[in-house]
Amino acid sequence: MSAPGIDARVLEALQQASSLELYQLSTVIERLLADPRRILAVRKDLHLGQTVRFVDWRDGSLREGKVVAMRDTQVTLHELRERREWKLPYAAIEPPQPDRAVHPLAAEPEPPQAPQPTRDDFRRGEKVAFEDKYLQTVVGTIVRINSRTATIDPGDGTLWRVGFALLRHVLDV
């Protein structure tokens, strides 16, 4: 039994371990992989639509896929070769290179940033959208305008206070 990418000496040592020792090791590894700092280290340079490499748990090979959804502890990828979806922990993703690590001569100049929306861009009764902390899009109507936030009613019995920079207009078609 050989696993790709694993040192043969490590594999041999693991085969000599008792079942209890392997179980203890697996619980420690699971705890380390679930550490939010490790998740954030991968997630900070990840964005929707980005192509990344990930480990296929079935055979240990690296595959390529596009990021289609990001949750707290897992990412959903659309594999490019077999065209199937994978829901994987962030630990299965090869950490993407930070955008700022691109060679300065090869990088194109950044386009100017669009101005941030302000209080004056919104009115009571307008339909707007924003992303909550789980990156889910919430659509609702502005029911109140404050100095720094707008109160949004998505129609489900909740109210959200959202900064103007996070809001975007929704057009009814």
CATH class of 119-169: mainly beta
Amino acid 13: pLDDT: 84
Give the torsion through C-alpha atoms of 31, 35, 38, 39, to 10 deg.
Answer: 110
Query: Tokens 């296929």 identify what position?
Result: 56
**Looking at the predicted structure, is the pLDDT value of residue 112 above 90?**
no
Asked which of 16-25, 88-97, 117-126 is least confident by mean pLDDT, the reply is 88-97
pLDDT greater than 80 at residue 47 = yes
119-169 and 8-97 share a CATH fold: yes
pLDDT confidence of 123, banded at 50, 70, 90? very high
Q: What is the pLDDT of residue 142?
A: 96
d(CA 69, CA 44): 14
How many residues are given for the chain? 173
Q: Which CATH number fits domain 8-97: 3.40.50.300, 2.30.30.140, 2.160.10.10, 3.30.1490.100?
A: 2.30.30.140
Percentage of the chain exceeding pLDDT 90: 26
The domain limits of the chain are 8-97, 119-169
Average pLDDT over residues 83-90: 87
Q: What is the pLDDT of residues 149-158, one digit of tens each?
A: 999 999 999 9
pLDDT for residue 91 is more than 80 = yes
The pLDDT of 109-116, averaged and rounded, is 75
Average pLDDT in the chain? 84
Burial pattern 20-29, b for ≥16 Cβ within 10 A else e, equals: eeeeeeeeee
Q: What is the pTM for the complete model shown?
A: 0.47
Q: How many helices (H) and strands (E) does the chain have?
A: 3, 9
Q: Can you tell me which residue has the tokens 């009613």?
A: 153
